[in-house]
Structure 1
């Protein structure tokens, strides 16, 4: 009987996918298809949970098949991330303008990411204090106990590392290993490797222009191929979001969310406030925040549903260049560095909130100015090298809590609501990297404001 029900659910999913395909054939805009998939997925998932229960065999096996479309899409995006990061930064150095001011662009991007992360930490502290959040209020069940074991294993790998050792972990000792994403800091290592190759290209260009020209043509050709792959994968976005949201709706632990609702609400208020800060920064730089929201929404929606900043990179860079008018070089720098530096949600708000919650148990007054200032600085500096995939927030929290000599067990006590909060954190991470790209372009006077202000959407290219 359960097999029959699973088949019924699969058939319904296929019918929903066919509806999205029909909309694509009728040239319905990309954004409308994305939000249609979002809404349908949530409703379908909640219906499945109401009928069968989130842990039933029917749900487990149905979601297993749904993952072909959902996580299959995420895997395709992850497949292209490392090649895109590598080739995009090389192209950035080959572009004449960026070749002349690569240091300035990189400094502005990284500076913006770190400063906004420090602001995010302050907002996280304020939110935790305002809601009077305390770690002792959290419940430890079987899932939490299992997660605590995982947390302790991760802690063992970083607890004894000094600050210089953590910095060394960012460097690409074996770039081929880092291309596989084997380490939490693999993405930033690939970025650094790409920058080194780019700097070497500039040296060869001065001494052997002919060889540099040949290399530039090869890189341009590879970039064209990689971007074509990106376009093909991005066309699958509505289908991927449909499957991902269906899984979230069908499997979310609604009881746990209700019990820990206070922390969820405090987290999302902090995330929303920080997003408003992004809009305020853009407004102060002379850019319309409403235009930003309208054009960034499809990207943020995917980041929200997929919970992977790295997987969102292709859509992030594409939106910056084609929707906002950010030069390719700056967009690639902001998108790539934003994967591992200064993630406002995962590396800013989240660890700051946890530190405030557990401070009293360590005999520390969370209202102490010295504690707050130290925490903000530690959070900002610790945000270097946070992985841009699901789980990066846990890594960031472990680094911050261990550096501040605070209990780390709280990280494992939030396992039941982690996916729900991580959705908002990831969307804020991506917004932070796009804000860095826009602000850097504005400061360097390279932003095409005509493209930014245009009402026409270049997402049309994603429609078949």
Structure 2
């Protein structure tokens, strides 16, 4: 027993980034072992089932923390911005840079597609292809803006019929719309500002709830290495080259395009704003690696916000608004690179020639379409929206779904890398970025709580209300750096 405790203490001293790398290596090893044991997707072996359970449980724990974190953090950040005069400018700059980076990403996707002709080089038949049951439309954005209820919860029921047709099993699952949660929190925050002093007791409760949520969050985040091993191990065990081979060029294009944006475009943009490209990548790396294995921008949101504040120097009052918004509407790979390449692939598979107008439509859909599909099921919805806008066969979606989990890993990692970058760029342009924190050594654990983080972002012992409203670790949002 004593030896086990000593081992755990020693493991806790290992830097968090190294723990994740260990989880990656262990996950790959276990995945290869699980694949060698045999089994099928319908009847997996025990090790594959265990890995899948560990991974899905970890992602679910992260998602459970997201709703209270988003709501309380945004409400507190809006309340703290009551004396700031440029809040609207910050929001406008954020949305502008969402659009700029999306336009760059979709241009890269189209360029790679035209160079490699992924559909012409695909070894796959279009016979028997069926359209996806999940489809995207331009009105989805409006649907996602308005919460269906106070908790923004939705329910879906899946019915599985026995092969004999004699019985059926129904299961109901709950989900939440992050975009509508953001809108709800913004409305409540604005109402607090309007109400004034009478809202202070309510605001104190929200601040306490935020502090409790953050404490629970770090407990979950500490499980990341274990979750990483489960998620990556299950991915290796479940998907092999036999699925990728028919669409090998398309798969390579998605990875190459995403890596160009994540490791080339984003560091270049950081450099153009006087920020170290290396520090950006090292600072955002914990969120990027978690996104890669979890395949969930929403599940990674707490870590993305954490690295934006702690490693990249973004003021907490701004990050608590910008990062949740980015997690729902900024998807440079899922909503730009991938749909562009997929549209070119589907067009070539079905023998449809695309013209300059079609490529301009792809760019338009990529820049504004991610907002139209926010809160829905990722790239599949975005892809159906792109294909339907171009008039391409929706049956092409079915041809690409088999390898979607493999592609979703790099797509999500790229999305999250951009979600961490844009708040840093906007903060730097507005003179509110903590440049010293951005360029600080990464020697200590980037996710370890700071000394002051047992208290809420706006609640510090001995501070006056006025100091709380405008300060965030000594930096006021909207004030000169």
TM bucket, shorter chain: 0.7 to 0.9
Return 94-103 or 267-276, whichever deviates more.
Answer: 94-103
Partner of 1:63: 48
The 1:94/1:84 distance shift into structure 2, 3 A limit, reads same
Partner of 2:28: 42
Partner of 1:10: none
Distance apart, 1:118 and its partner CA: 1.9
Structure 2 gaps of 5+ residues are: 157-173, 451-481
Distance apart, 1:451 and its partner CA: 0.8
Higher helix proportion (structure 1 or 2): 1
Distance apart, 1:355 and its partner CA: 1.6
Distance apart, 1:139 and its partner CA: 2.3
Distance apart, 1:95 and its partner CA: 1.4
Q: Check the 8 A contact 1:92/1:98 in 2, yes or no.
A: no
Partner of 1:320: 308
Work out which of the residue numbers 73, 86, 110 in structure 2 matches 1:88: 73
Work out which of the residue numbers 392, 414, 422 in structure 1 matches 2:408: 422
Determine the C-alpha separation between the residues in 2 that align with 1:261 and 1:18. 47
Distance apart, 1:310 and its partner CA: 0.5
Partner of 1:196: 187
Matched residue SS, 1:170: helix
Q: Check the 8 A contact 1:59/1:250 in 2, yes or no.
A: no
Q: Check the 8 A contact 2:250/2:341 in 1, yes or no.
A: no
Return 248-257 or 296-305, whichever deviates more.
Answer: 248-257
Alpha-carbon RMSD: 2.8
Distance apart, 1:364 and its partner CA: 5.4
Work out which of the residue numbers 306, 327, 331 in structure 2 matches 1:343: 331
Determine the C-alpha separation between the residues in 1 that align with 2:38 and 2:334. 30
- Deviations 1:246-272, CA, capped at 9 Å, x for gaps: 111212122222332211111111101
The 1:298/1:23 distance shift into structure 2, 3 A limit, reads farther
The 1:414/1:20 distance shift into structure 2, 3 A limit, reads farther
Work out which of the residue numbers 254, 262, 280 in structure 1 matches 2:268: 280
Work out which of the residue numbers 145, 150, 154 in structure 2 matches 1:176: 150
The 1:204/1:350 distance shift into structure 2, 3 A limit, reads same
Partner of 2:366: 379
The 1:184/1:263 distance shift into structure 2, 3 A limit, reads farther
Q: Check the 8 A contact 1:185/1:387 in 2, yes or no.
A: no
Matched, 1:443 2:429: yes
Partner of 1:304: 292
TM-score normalised over the length of structure 2: 0.82
Partner of 2:250: 263
Determine the C-alpha separation between the residues in 2 that align with 1:315 and 1:460. 8
The 1:234/1:56 distance shift into structure 2, 3 A limit, reads closer
The count of residues paired between Structure 1 and Structure 2 equals: 428
Determine the C-alpha separation between the residues in 2 that align with 1:63 and 1:20. 27
TM-score normalised over the length of structure 1: 0.85
Distance apart, 1:230 and its partner CA: 0.9
Q: Check the 8 A contact 1:135/1:410 in 2, yes or no.
A: no
Structure 1 gaps of 5+ residues are: 1-16
Matched, 1:401 2:387: yes
Partner of 2:221: 234
Distance apart, 1:19 and its partner CA: 11
Partner of 2:340: 352
Determine the C-alpha separation between the residues in 1 that align with 2:176 and 2:357. 30
Matched, 1:410 2:384: no
The 1:201/1:60 distance shift into structure 2, 3 A limit, reads same
The 1:400/1:460 distance shift into structure 2, 3 A limit, reads closer
Alignment of 1:92-131 (within 5 A): 92-96=77-81, 99-131=84-116
Return 306-315 or 259-268, whichever deviates more.
Answer: 259-268
Distance apart, 1:387 and its partner CA: 4.6
The 1:309/1:41 distance shift into structure 2, 3 A limit, reads same
Matched residue SS, 2:287: helix
Partner of 1:216: 203
- Deviations 1:26-72, CA, capped at 9 Å, x for gaps: x01111011111012112211331x3235288843322222332111
Distance apart, 1:168 and its partner CA: 2.0
Matched residue SS, 1:343: coil
Determine the C-alpha separation between the residues in 1 that align with 2:270 and 2:207. 32
Partner of 1:186: 177
